[in-house]
Amino acid sequence: MQRQTGAIKDTPSKKPKVKIYIDGPNFYHGLKGMGKKYREFQFNFSKLGLILRTKNRELIGINYYSSPLKQQRNPEVYQQQQRFFARLRSNCITVILCKTKYRLINPNIFIQQSKGTIKGDDIAIAVDMLSDAYENVYDDGILVSSDGDFVPLVKKLQEMGKKVEILYFENSKSWELINSCKFTRVVSKSLIRKCFIPRDEIY
C-alpha cells in the first residue's frame, strides 16, 4: 500500500477538527450510477471538503483510497488515472493506494475477460479512522462510502465519543450503515454540480 500525502499546515484552532475519508472505488461506482456525464476525474474533492466542513469546523485533512490501474491493460486510462491522482495531491489530499486482485473469467481472453477487485481499501480506511481517533487527530470523522461493511467501524468510533458522518449514494446505499450512524447525508445531483469541473478546465 502506498501513501502519498499533500501538505496541510497545522494551525491552532478551537473549532472542532474534521477529517474526511473517501472510499474511492465506492465513490466511482456511485457517481457512475448518477449518470454518464458524471466522471470521478472531473470531481473537485477539495470543494467537497469545504462544503462538508461547514463554517464552524476546521478541515484538517482528506484521505482518498483507491487502487492503481495496470498500465499494460489500458495505457490511456492508466495515464488519466495518474493525472487524477496528481491533481488530488496538488490539492493537499492524501492518496492511499491499495492492491488490485484480478479474477480470471475466461482463460483464453484474459484482457477482455477478467475482473478487478480492490483489496485492502476497507481495511486501510478502518485502520486510519481508528488510529486517528485514538490519537485524537479529529473530533468529527466523515466517511464517504455506501459500504455496509463499515458498520462495526462506525459503531466503535461512536463508542469512543467521536462524531461520525456518512456521505452516501442513494443508488448504492446500505440501510444498515445509514441506521448505524446519527449523521448522514446523500450525494445529491446539486452537490455533484457544485463540485463538478468541466473537462476543458482539467486538461
For the segment 27-58, what is each residue's pLDDT rounded down to a tens digit? 988 988 887 777 777 889 999 999 999 889 99
What is the mean predicted confidence (pLDDT) over 6-23?
76
Ordered domains of the chain (ranges, CATH): 2-6+16-201 (3.40.50.1010)
φ, ψ dihedrals at 62, nearest 5°: -130, 125
pTM of the model: 0.83
> What DSSP state is assigned to residue 57?
S
Query: Confidence class of residue 104 from pLDDT cuts 50, 70 and 90?
Result: very low
How would you class 36 by CB atoms within 10 Å of its CB: exposed for 0-12, middle for 13-18, buried for 19 or more?
exposed
CA neighbours within 13 Å on the CB side: how many for 23? 27
pLDDT recorded at residue 24 = 92
pLDDT > 70? residue 74: yes
pLDDT recorded at residue 111 = 39
pLDDT recorded at residue 99 = 76
d(CA 43, CA 183): 23
φ, ψ dihedrals at 52, nearest 5°: -75, -25
CA neighbours within 13 Å on the CB side: how many for 144? 23
What is the mean predicted confidence (pLDDT) over 142-153?
95
What percentage of the chain has pLDDT greater than the value 70?
Answer: 81
d(CA 5, CA 73): 27
What ranges in the chain are assigned the alpha helix state H?
Answer: 24-32, 45-53, 75-90, 121-134, 151-159, 175-180, 189-195
pLDDT > 60? residue 198: yes
pLDDT recorded at residue 77 = 85
Cβ pair 56, 133 in contact under 8 A: no
